[in-house]
Structure 1
Amino acid sequence: MARNLRTLEEVQEIATFAKLDSSDTVGLSQCLYFSEDLNPSGMKLMEVDNNLLDVLKEGQRLIIRGEKTDHAVLCTDNKTYDLKLAETTNALLLVPDGVTPSKSLDDTRSLKHQQVSGLVHTYFELKPARPKLKKIYELLEDFEYEGSVEENAKELTGRLYSISDLLDIVQASEQEIIRQLNKIQACNVKGYWRLLSFEYKSRVLTCILNLVEENSWHLSAVPLQDVLNTLDYLEPRCILKHVLECYSEKSKQLTDSAESYVYAINEDKVCQHYAEELLRNAGKFNLEEFLAAWQQCVPAGMKTDPGQLKGIALIDRTSFPEVIYRYHVDDLPEDEKERFNELFKTKEKWTLEEIKPYIEVLSSDKVSIGALLQKNARASTGSNGVKLFNSKHSVKK
């Protein structure tokens, strides 16, 4: 249907009625006309910050992740954002060829007729979010790797996950997922990410440590090549290398070969492993007896220390005798409120040193551990002058 399009004279007349100064209409004036079929393509708007805008300009992808029952998140290659629908108080008009003031620099009076192709009242709002990473462990723990012999002997009873499978399911960016796989000590076996069973990992670690002792290698100079060449008849080379890397750090590279690294065994990680081995099925353990047994378990030359137990065990000093029991940070809920509720359900009052390993994963550049405690806990001072934290809210039993 033909439209009666306004002229410059009509625009000036309207401006006069609106009591606008003639200088306000210098340059380009745009007359808007509504399309007969507003927003036919179902276009959606999304508000992005400068960082996300740069990502798009660089040609990188923004991916929406989550299963049908999940709240949607949007991911870049290295960050995760909550994706929520927000409403505007005023309608937003979509004008594909609209000219902004910065693009209209000509002082000459001119007129352009623009068609409004869409009318929207909502847009997607993005906020930085903590990635949902606990799901990785939950997926992988259903089918742990127990060694090549056991793998070949039993029927496949669980699903295997490649990195592309995890990207389809887990609500996190690719870099965040890879960091989490390394944190939970997952291993890539024939293209699939697997958790090693604790018993199997202990067996491989013991083989490596025995080899170190037999060859009188210094704990700070364990040659990867020799470990692989000597033990590959027992376990796959990828497993040997993975377990060595779980409990050590690369020290130096002797040649250009990928397997010529020398590794330094991390005493704290090894001692922590043996502590968890003692506590896994022990329930509450007499503290004095535990400390003696723990020191006997670790390799000669290593020294155990209660500081190595942070994040894996709690000591109850109110009981007589004092006891220790397994309490692993990875077993706690991912949600902030649920995690604090679980912590205060386990222990009514915590010192900062006790609670810090269990909540530091919730902190960020913008939210400190102090801010988390201020929000979720109430501080008091114990009889010995040490600051204690208890729940600010009622604890759900």
Structure 2
Amino acid sequence: MKLMEVNDDLLSNLKAGKRLVIRGEKTDHAVLCTDNTTYDLKLAETTNGLLLVPDGVTSDSFVDNTRSLEHKQVAGLIHTYFELKPTRPKLKKVRVLLEDSEYEGAVEEGAREITGKLYTTDDLLDIVQASEDEIFRELAKIQACTINGHWRLLSFEYKSRVIASILNLVEENSWHLSAVPLDEVLNTLDNLEPRCILKHVLACYSEKSKQNNESESILYSLNEDKICQHYAEALLRNSGKFNLEEFMAAWQQCVPEGMKTDPAQLKGIALVDKTSFPEVIFRYHIDDLPEGERERFNALFKMKRKWTMDEIKPYVEELTSEKVSIGALLQKHARASTGPNGVKYFNSKHPVK
């Protein structure tokens, strides 16, 4: 028998008949998950042995101070128990697993053999160390979709092709960017791409429109920030360092007419080197950074010795929690200093490896 110390939330889950699941592969440190929370599972020692007694009687069971002697069989002597502490889910593995089998379109799918393993929901729940809700939120964040029962990532090139097809259709029909009819997109483009892919890409780069629609067709409003960010990444993806002024001009020319690019759309995907003359921009994507807190800060300070708050915030926001703010993270891993221009900078508190 093993003992496990649970908090009130976990106890409520158990009393309600819900499951607690231990997840991970054999080489992983074990975590325990509810439907929506992940806990670190560690073995703790007790200074005194604990006797496990089935049907044991406690002092609050006695009435009117009446006492009696009962013989009980001791089922076990325990010196350790499992201690549970809330922890950040280990979600980077989801992207790593799915990157080996990116979907590149129906034609390419039929013409080549898929080298990577395909994963169902049950497969991911078996090996990813996170709760079910956290895994589904991560799948939405990385824009994964289900194709024939398996979770797949669309390759960047294929996704770009689908986005271009939708935007060309919008332009040909002079549709307003906030009133793109779903049915017409599907009926026109389903000879080029599967309907499930068209719906998925629309869901990733737009929201259901609030505009009135007399035809009763579902309307979508294209998300300016997401579309512009996609085109920024397309420009930076294989270009190395790019003259900032030239990049901004080229970027604005790439996006659909009626959309406006903004440097804020680059947060988390690119950095500007202001020490260079002229200033240059290059791809630096949050998805390429380590998942661990210490490793993340080490990688950031290895890339750049000093960061402003606006620069570093997009890369560390996801490490925060209800109890740990960005300020607390920076206080733990960085030293603050004020530059000659009055701007606050952060540099590493620990040696950068």
TM-score (norm 2): 0.97
CA contact (8 A) 1:82 1:129 kept: yes
1:375 matched residue in structure 2:
332
- Separation of aligned partners in 2, 1:102 and 1:226: 70
2:187 matched residue in structure 1:
229
What residue identity is the alignment partner of 2:155?
S
46, 59, 76: which one aligns with 1:118: 76
25, 31, 43: which one aligns with 1:67: 25
Tell me the SS of whatever aligns to 1:113.
coil
How far has the Cα of 1:261 moved from its partner? 2.4
Moved more, 322-331 or 115-124: 115-124
- Separation of aligned partners in 2, 1:92 and 1:302: 67
1:175-214 to 2 correspondences below 5 Å? 175-214=133-172
2:240 matched residue in structure 1:
283
1:45 matched residue in structure 2:
3
CA contact (8 A) 1:252 1:261 kept: no
- Separation of aligned partners in 2, 1:260 and 1:128: 45
Cα separation, partners in 2 of 1:237 and 1:111, compared to 1, 3 Å: same
Moved more, 244-253 or 316-325: 244-253
- Separation of aligned partners in 1, 2:207 and 2:63: 60
1:1-397 to 2 correspondences below 5 Å? 43-252=1-210, 260-396=217-353
Deviations 1:197-225 (CA, angstroms, capped at 9, x unpaired): 00000000011011111111111111111
Cα separation, partners in 2 of 1:260 and 1:83, compared to 1, 3 Å: farther
Deviations 1:126-182 (CA, angstroms, capped at 9, x unpaired): 000111100010010011000001001111222111110111111111111110000
- Separation of aligned partners in 1, 2:23 and 2:263: 41
- Separation of aligned partners in 2, 1:172 and 1:202: 30
How far has the Cα of 1:264 moved from its partner? 1.0
CA contact (8 A) 1:314 1:327 kept: yes
- Separation of aligned partners in 2, 1:261 and 1:59: 40
What residue identity is the alignment partner of 2:288?
D
Paired residues, number = 352
- Separation of aligned partners in 1, 2:102 and 2:343: 43
How far has the Cα of 1:310 moved from its partner? 0.2
Deviations 1:66-102 (CA, angstroms, capped at 9, x unpaired): 1111001111111111100000011111111112233
CA contact (8 A) 2:144 2:151 kept: yes
CA contact (8 A) 1:333 1:339 kept: yes
Tell me the SS of whatever aligns to 2:72.
strand
1:37 matched residue in structure 2:
none
CA RMSD of aligned residues (A): 1.5
What residue identity is the alignment partner of 1:349?
K
- Separation of aligned partners in 1, 2:39 and 2:294: 19
How far has the Cα of 1:260 moved from its partner? 4.1
What residue identity is the alignment partner of 1:374?
Q
CA contact (8 A) 2:179 2:211 kept: no
What residue identity is the alignment partner of 1:371?
A
- Separation of aligned partners in 2, 1:189 and 1:253: 31
1:29 matched residue in structure 2:
none
Tell me the SS of whatever aligns to 2:69.
strand
Runs of 4+ with >2 A deviation: 100-115, 251-255
Tell me the SS of whatever aligns to 1:110.
coil
CA contact (8 A) 2:95 2:142 kept: yes
What residue identity is the alignment partner of 2:103?
Y
5+ long unaligned stretches in structure 1: 1-42
- Separation of aligned partners in 2, 1:188 and 1:265: 22
TM-score (norm 1): 0.87
Cα separation, partners in 2 of 1:224 and 1:105, compared to 1, 3 Å: farther
- Separation of aligned partners in 2, 1:102 and 1:165: 47
How far has the Cα of 1:106 moved from its partner? 3.4
- Separation of aligned partners in 1, 2:325 and 2:67: 56
What residue identity is the alignment partner of 2:81?
Y
What residue identity is the alignment partner of 2:278?
P
- Separation of aligned partners in 1, 2:58 and 2:217: 60
Deviations 1:103-123 (CA, angstroms, capped at 9, x unpaired): 333322333222221111000
5+ long unaligned stretches in structure 2: none
CA contact (8 A) 2:4 2:83 kept: yes
**Residue identity (%):** 78
